[in-house]
Amino acid sequence: MEATGCRLAMTDHRTIVIVSVYLPSPKPLLRSDLRALLALGDAVILFGDFNCKNPRWGCAVMDENGEKLDRLQDRLEFEIITPSTATYFPHNDTYRTSTLDFALTKGVALNLNCIETLNRLSSDHRPVLLKMGPPDGGRPISTIKITDWKKVSTAFEKIDTPPLNSIPDDIRTTEQIDHAIGALTSHVKTVVKRCEREVPASSDRRKFPPDILELIRAKNKALRRASAYPTPEYRSRARALQREVKARVQEFRNESWSDLMEEITPSHKAF
């Protein structure tokens, strides 16, 4: 892996090490490379072309590097931040687009404002812009859109769909092809938009105690394993951890609320 980094001194935050990385496509992703780069500081951002394909971040297929990066996330304790749209657009139209350019972060307390692909430059790789804000929440809370893909799948199962009824069963001309593509594309965009919801882009996971954070990591790992290998055992384990995380988080919030009430409510012993 090729890497060029710098140290950035910041106000109200520890020094951040920012590393521009590039992994040539024929080369394998090495755990030792990631471990060495993430050990450059207490707060590290790796950003660049990882050449790792995984459906988890929008690729059509999974390759060996993408599967390995997914596995290493829990072991090396980093976060994967990817844009919602593809970053690689091959000049050959028969090849599929992929999301190959993204960021890995570890120990960074800044809030994620957005990460987006910019449709600029003539390269087959689009630039990616990552914006991060202060950790104190002084700015308006940014949001991201989450798609409920189960709702999308259910909507696509409907047979009687008016937007698609105009597509003829027997397509003979290029005009009919263009019309069919336009109708299908419009329908897909409409369905996906209806199944989207906005949620805060930043998470309050850093406020949780270490035992809850460890439990959340175990739950995420189990969900990824169950998604890749949907055996009854893996699915059962993932569901059990989901219930455990939900119960533990609720318990923690109830404890925090009780502590807060004790602080602001005078004790009866004082009277």
Residue 270 lies in a domain: no
Per-residue pLDDT band for 205 (boundaries 50, 70, 90) equals: very low
Task: Domain of residue 222: give its range.
Answer: 210-263
Together in a domain, 106 and 148 = no
Together in a domain, 38 and 117 = yes
Supply the mean pLDDT for the chain. Answer: 82
Dihedral sign computed on CA atoms, order 105, 109, 110, 114: positive
Together in a domain, 238 and 259 = yes
Together in a domain, 183 and 77 = no
Q: Give me the pLDDT at residue 51, please.
A: 95
Neighbours of 175 (CB within 10 A): 9
pLDDT digits (tens, 9 = 90+) for 172-197: 888 888 888 888 888 888 888 888 87
Per-residue pLDDT band for 268 (boundaries 50, 70, 90) equals: very low
pTM over 0.95: no
pLDDT beyond 70 at 270 = no
- Token digits of residue 37: 């780069």
Together in a domain, 102 and 192 = no
Together in a domain, 80 and 122 = yes
Together in a domain, 43 and 15 = yes
- Token digits of residue 149: 């893909």
pLDDT digits (tens, 9 = 90+) for 11-62: 778 899 999 999 998 899 999 999 999 999 999 999 999 999 998 888 888 9
DSSP assignment of 38-93 equals: HTT-SEEEEEEE-----GGGT-SS--HHHHHHHHHHHHHT-EEE--SS--B--SST
Residue 49 lies in a domain: yes
Q: Could you tell me the CATH number of the domain that includes residue 63?
A: 3.60.10.10
Together in a domain, 216 and 251 = yes
pLDDT beyond 50 at 232 = yes
Together in a domain, 21 and 109 = yes
Contact between 45 and 3 (Cβ < 8 Å): no
